[in-house]
Amino acid sequence: MHELALTENIIAGVAERVEGARVTRVVLQIGKLSGVVPEAVRFCFDVCAAGTALEGASLEIVEIPARAICRSCKSTIELSDMIALCSCGSANLRMLSGNELRVKEVEVL
């Protein structure tokens, strides 16, 4: 639901930063548990980019795996979803990665 607002935010933020250059490629990092669906961002990107410095730019999305450290046994585990248990049985986890929502880099002409 919020992907459209976020995509508009990406377009506006990048356009502001490239100061008038034409953007040909955008690389995003989206964490697996960030709550943002990459497909939904792709779906809105072209429409949002129309009429801006990003019109026609290609979009590359790098998904960042979710990792956490278990506060009980101190081991590091990879999470496939938000409802995760360490192999020691503890649900007391601290997220290390997987919440990212970043514009990593852009290619401009």
- Scanning residues 15 to 74, which ones bind other proteins (CB under 8 A)? 15, 17-18, 20-22, 24, 28, 33, 35-36, 40, 43-44, 48, 51-53
Q: Is 94 in the site for other proteins (CB under 8 A)?
A: no
In terms of CB distance, is 58 or 65 closer to other proteins? 58
Q: How far is the CB of 48 from other proteins (least distance, A)?
A: 6
Q: Which residue has the tokens 């034409």?
A: 22
Alpha-carbon dihedral sign for residues 41, 44, 50, 51: negative
Distance CA 71, CA 86 (A): 10
